[in-house]
Amino acid sequence: PASSTQQATNSPLASAAEEASDDLAATMGCGCVKAAGEEPNTSNDLKLARKLQREEEKRARAAGSAPARSQSDWNSAGAGKKLGGGSESEDMSNQLSAEERRQRALEAAEKRQNNVHGISQEKVQEMRAKEAKQALLGKLAEHYARQGLEMPMSLNAASLEQLKQHWETVRKDKGTAEAVLRQ
């Protein structure tokens, strides 16, 4: 005896519903239903894409702009400009030393970082200082853990400058206890 699920799939109603869903999918063009061994017909897609491209190029020509397919001639583009540079600063930048150029680039990067949309510059600077302090505390905690020492409790209350000085001392002197105590 056949089970009830087998009877349901063999019934004429189930096969009619399956055929209707196949026809609907084929009509809608979803491409998820393939006949046995057949590849989907993509010739209509290619024709439509070419037609749309021609229409787009026609609208671009009518608007007076160059068609999207034209390629730029990069050989005639010129030298371009450096970021933040005008004609006056360009002359000055040639006279600057590598260190001065590096310093100017650093200042420009800091200026860009401090310009956050929707947040005041004071708040941005405060957030950056807090991030830097947390990073230094993390480095110091890792250093002390590797040395098998307990991190001084006063470091959590230290200012950013004090933490920087302490980190430099620890780093230069390889974290010897005498160097830390001398500080």
Averaged in consecutive runs of 10 residues, what is the pLDDT profile of the chain (183 residues)?
Answer: 49 58 56 60 87 92 65 68 58 74 89 83 88 93 90 90 91 63 54
Structure confidence at residue 118 (pLDDT) = 86
Question: How far apart (Å, rounded) are the C-alpha atoms in residues 133 and 127?
Answer: 10
Question: How far apart (Å, rounded) are the C-alpha atoms in residues 84 and 108?
Answer: 8
Structure confidence at residue 83 (pLDDT) = 65
Q: Which residues contact 2 (CB under 8 A, 6 or more apart)?
A: 10
Structure confidence at residue 8 (pLDDT) = 47
CB 61 within 8 A of CB 67: yes
Task: Work out the burial of residue 140: count CB atoms within 10 Å of its CB; fewer than 13 is exposed, 13-18 middle, 19 or more buried.
Answer: buried
Question: How far apart (Å, rounded) are the C-alpha atoms in residues 112 and 34?
Answer: 55
